[in-house]
Chain A
Amino acid sequence: DPKIIQKPKYLVAVTGSEKILICEQYLGHNAMYWYRQSAKKPLEFMFSYSYQKLMDNQTASSRFQPQSSKKNHLDLQITALKPDDSATYFCASSQPGLGEQYFGPGTRLTVL
């Protein structure tokens, strides 16, 4: 059974639209993360949350907003989508601090 669920697996959006990427983890972890992978930057850290609180934000744009409604959920809302946002977005989780991070299957986003 998958321990980290990401939905949807594939997502196609038009420029200017808004999408939400879903992430749920069932590993009992208290820290969750978002990373982005594209041809330009192989694996790039975006956000980290610990006990549902934002710990680090390396995303320059406010168009990217994480949302944590439950302790095992960390969704990513992206507004005003641009073609440059096209990438695979990975959610990961760990115990807080130096815990081993495990990645979800990813959501592949294409912005036309």
Chain B
Amino acid sequence: GEQVEQLPSILRVQEGSSASINCSYEDSASNYFPWYKQEPGENPKLIIDIRSNMERKQIQELIVLLDKKAKRFSLHITDTQPGDSAMYFCAANYNTNTGKLTFGDGTVLTVKP
């Protein structure tokens, strides 16, 4: 299968706290997992990604964890700010040759001041 499940669909946090989004995938051959942030009326923007040869990656306040055995990966935003409010999508690459990305259904994150 090529489904990517993403939870939660809605996430509200207080400014300064952490936010976590979880995704699971089906095909153990998947080896690339990007995360995109999309603001209303805008295009999805790549914010961080992780490849299957890594378990953890951090870029500033963004942390991505990958558990290949469980076929799960997650995004953690530490010290959230109102500017982090947006839709977030996880994705998995199921076919290295074609570059096809399969996306989760998205998480609407709201950071309350």
Q: Does A58 contact B (CB under 8 A)?
A: yes
22 A-B pairs within 8 Å (CB atoms) are namely: A31-B99, A33-B99, A42-B89, A43-B89, A43-B103, A48-B99, A48-B100, A55-B97, A55-B99, A56-B98, A56-B100, A90-B43, A90-B44, A97-B97, A98-B51, A98-B96, A100-B34, A101-B34, A103-B36, A103-B44, A104-B43, A105-B42
The 10 A-B pairs of least Cβ separation, nearest first, read A56-B98, A43-B103, A55-B98, A103-B43, A98-B32, A48-B98, A42-B106, A103-B44, A45-B100, A48-B99
Residue ID in chain A nearest B106 by CB atoms: A42
| A51 CA / B106 CA spacing, docked (Å) | 31
Residue ID in chain B nearest A106 by CB atoms: B43
Q: Does A99 contact B (CB under 8 A)?
A: yes
- Residue among B43, B45, B101 with most chain A CB within 10 A: B43
Query: Chain A, 77-112, contact with B by CB distance < 8 Å: what is the 0/1 string?
Result: 000000000000010001011111111111000000
| A45 CA / B49 CA spacing, docked (Å) | 18
What secondary structure prevails in chain B residues at the interface with A?
strand
Contact across chains for B45 and A101 when beta carbons are under 8 A apart: no
Q: Does B18 contact A (CB under 8 A)?
A: no
Contact across chains for B95 and A56 when beta carbons are under 8 A apart: yes
